[in-house]
Structure 1
Amino acid sequence: MTFEQDVSTLRANANPVLLEQIAGYYGPADDIEPWHHLNSLLWPDLSENEDTRRVQIPGALDEYGDELRRYIQRYDDLRARRLDALSNYDIGIAYRVSGPENGLFQALDAIRNHIGRVRAQILWILGEQVRLTPPQLALF
């Protein structure tokens, strides 16, 4: 039996009820909370110079926003297409022993964690933006 045939058999023999339960366990991406604590090692790499940092923030927000959109797209794809969203490598090698159902669970769990991390990073950047915004002075 070829690798592709073996993977096809693993996909066909996966438990559809369990796959449904796994996809249902992971709610919509909008419900994923940002991490409550973001280790300083995961803070976005911005300049120590506050003037330079202020200029870097819009680009960093764009970059992390794009990353978040990619993760959400992948998460939604896994929830919708389930095993069809996993590669042959994932099913035939990475999760061969634990099963394709566990592969879906692990993939969704990993992406959910990435979404929470990136949301925390975006909140951190927004906090820096507020901190570095000069106060508005009244003219009267």
Structure 2
Amino acid sequence: MTFEQDVSNLRANANSALLDKIVGYYGPADEIEPWAHLNSLLWPELSENENTRREQIPGVLDEYQDELRRYIRRYDDLRERRLDALSNYDLGIAHRQSGPENGLFQALDAVRNHIGRARAQVLWLLAEQDRLALPQLALF
């Protein structure tokens, strides 16, 4: 039997009731909370100079929001397509011993954690943007 046939059998023989439970355990992406604490090692790299920092934030914020959107798309894809969203390597090598159901569980868990981290980073950037906002002057 070829590797591809073996992986195909793993997909076909997976416990669908357990896959349903796994997907049910990992709710919709919009319910994933940002990390409550974001270690300073995970803060986006910005200049120490506040003027430069203020100018950097919009571009860096766009990058982190794009990253968050990619993670959400991946998470939704895993929830929707389940084992079909996992590669042959994931199922046939990385999770061969633990089973395809565990492969889906671990993939969803990892992506959920990335979403929580990315949301915390976006919130941190928004707070920095607010902190560095220049005061509005009255016109009269």
TM-score by structure 1 length? Answer: 0.98
* Sequence identity (%): 81
Question: Counterparts of 1:37 and 1:60 in 2: how far apart (Å)?
Answer: 20
Question: Counterparts of 2:138 and 2:62 in 1: how far apart (Å)?
Answer: 31
Give every structure 1 segment of 4 or more consecutive aligned residues whose post-TM-superposition deviation is greater than 3 Å: none
Greater Cα offset, 34-43 or 128-137: 128-137
Shift of 1:139: 3.7
Deviations 1:23-58 (A, max 9, x none): 111111000000000000000011111111000000
Question: Counterparts of 1:77 and 1:71 in 2: how far apart (Å)?
Answer: 10
**In the TM superposition, what are the counterparts of 1:29-48 in structure 2 within 5 Å?**
29-48=29-48
Question: Counterparts of 2:65 and 2:48 in 1: how far apart (Å)?
Answer: 22
Query: 1:110 corresponds to which residue?
Result: 110
- Consecutive unaligned residues of structure 2, counting only runs of 5 or more, are none
Aligned length: 140
Question: Counterparts of 1:56 and 1:137 in 2: how far apart (Å)?
Answer: 23
**In the TM superposition, what are the counterparts of 1:3-82 in structure 2 within 5 Å?**
3-82=3-82
Question: Counterparts of 2:133 and 2:15 in 1: how far apart (Å)?
Answer: 54
Report the secondary structure of 1:45's partner residue. coil
- Consecutive unaligned residues of structure 1, counting only runs of 5 or more, are none
Shift of 1:67: 0.3
Greater Cα offset, 111-120 or 129-138: 129-138
Question: Counterparts of 2:26 and 2:79 in 1: how far apart (Å)?
Answer: 8
Aligned-pair RMSD on alpha carbons?
0.7
Deviations 1:59-106 (A, max 9, x none): 011100100110000000000000000000000000001000000000
TM-score by structure 2 length? Answer: 0.98
